[in-house]
Amino acid sequence: MANSDLSGIICASVTPVSPQFSIDAGRLAMHCTRLLSQGCSFVSTFGTTGEGASFSTNEKIAALRALADAGADMRSQIPSVMTPSSDEAGRMIAEIAALGCRGALVLPPFYYASASEEGIVAFFERALERAGHPDLDILLYNIPQFSRITFTPSLVRKLIARFGDRIVGIKDSTGKLESGVELAEGFPQLSIFTGDDRVLPSLLARGGAGMIGGMPNVFSKDLRALYEAPGAEGSAPLKANAATRIEAVDGNGALLALKAVLAAFYKDKEWARAMPPLMALAPERASVVFDAIEGTGFAVRTAA
């Protein structure tokens, strides 16, 4: 398969934010380099964990160009496209292609929950036309709890019928194993990823390609080890730690908790800042997260 490299641990990167509430491209470039050095196959910027819906297309394009100017390997980037506007989606896709990124992770157009499958296909048609039909692989971003649109097998079949092998994968962020398995078994030609560490081992056993999620921002080494040997005798502690960590993070602000952990880990308080309407995690909640994570043997506050 042409997309056979699309597997492994892909980090849905957080986005560092400056005091002026702009994307801090310098810190982002440093973070991406660290993630790739610690076992991530690719980095996906500006998704849900990256507060992608809170930044304009112009801001995200400028940040991607800054990453390229900083010497980032753009072939290791799979940026997210999160907009209900086909024009904006097309602009973002065109830039992702022009920068030589590995692909684009595309959210369906949110807001109109009554959109038909034919309407969703038309959205992709218009976005790709606006982009100039670039030679770029597309991954579908299935997160109906935010987008209100589900990439059902029926809809995926329609998109493949229209766009052929341009559709190469799906990120299933429902958190449900059965959803990922249905996609993996129904579309063996696609790379199917889960967004949940706890689902990863079982999905891999059923034909999944790996995960695209927020937890590799901190735990990329452990998750890479779990990906490489999900059924190994010694994987039980990795699975238990992954479950404890994701529960602590998701129960305390999700991406805000990850930003708090990175601020402590990097010893750089700037990492905790979020883009309005989100606000940095309160210190008392951050301490709860730190305690839970340190209970799994991962140093947060004492990291070098």
- pLDDT reading at 151 higher than 90: yes
pLDDT tens digits, residue range 15-33?
999 999 999 999 999 999 9
What is the pLDDT at residue 2? 52
- pLDDT reading at 88 higher than 70: yes
- pLDDT reading at 139 higher than 90: yes
Give the whole-angstrom CA distance, residue 248 versus residue 227. 21
What is the pLDDT at residue 264? 96
Q: Could you tell me what percent of the chain has a pLDDT over 70?
A: 98
Secondary structure class of 194 (helix, strand, coil): strand
What is the pLDDT at residue 1? 46
For strand 210-213 and strand 8-12, is the pairing parallel, antiparallel, or unpaired? parallel
Distances (CA, A) of 160 to 78, 127, 178, 183: 20, 16, 21, 13
Q: Which pTM value belongs to this model? A: 0.95
Mean pLDDT of the chain: 95
Averaged pLDDT for residues 3-20: 94
Phi-psi domain of 39 (left: phi exceeds 0; alpha: psi -120 through 50; beta: other): left
Q: Which amino acid is at 282?
A: A
Averaged pLDDT for residues 54-65: 98
Domains and CATH numbers, the chain: 8-233 (3.20.20.70)
Residue appearing with tokens 């992608």: 52
Question: For the chain, how are helix, strand and coil distributed in percent, rounded to 5?
Answer: 50, 10, 40
What is the pLDDT at residue 274? 98
Which of the four pLDDT bands, split at 50, 70 and 90, describes residue 113?
confident
Of the candidate ranges 54-68, 143-157, 168-182, 289-303, the one whose mean pLDDT is the lowest: 289-303
What is the pLDDT at residue 303? 54
What is the pLDDT at residue 15? 98
Give the whole-angstrom CA distance, residue 47 versus residue 70. 21
pLDDT tens digits, residue range 170-197?
999 999 999 999 999 999 999 999 999 9
Averaged pLDDT for residues 113-120: 94
How far does CA 295 lie from the centroid of its chain? 26
